[in-house]
Amino acid sequence: MTPSQALASLQRPLAEQGIRTVGMTFGHQDGMLFPGTGDVVGYACGLFWWPAGRLRHGRPVYTIHPAADPDGAARRIARARQAPPAQALR
């Protein structure tokens, strides 16, 4: 699956969750999907990734999800947007 195919496959499920996308950039091996609001969703090596909303040792923690399951990724992204901010991990 190319980055453009993976990110395009995520747009419809995100829209069904009420998350509108406004743009996409991609190269040969990776790419980024830009929602109208909120964090960017990345793609690389068959995985989607996005910020988990917390820090560990002062650095952001990321959530990953297989790109073969865009519906599941969209559900997780939507759930994460509804959750209260997490505490920083030490």
C-alpha angle 50/56/60, rounded to 5°?
Answer: 30
Q: Give this prediction's pTM.
A: 0.86
Confidence (pLDDT) at 89: 53
pLDDT, one tens digit per residue, over 69-79 is 999 999 999 99
How would you class 33 by CB atoms within 10 Å of its CB: exposed for 0-12, middle for 13-18, buried for 19 or more? buried
- Over residues 45-68, the pLDDT tens digits come to 999 999 998 899 999 999 999 999
74 neighbors 41 (Cβ within 8 angstroms): no
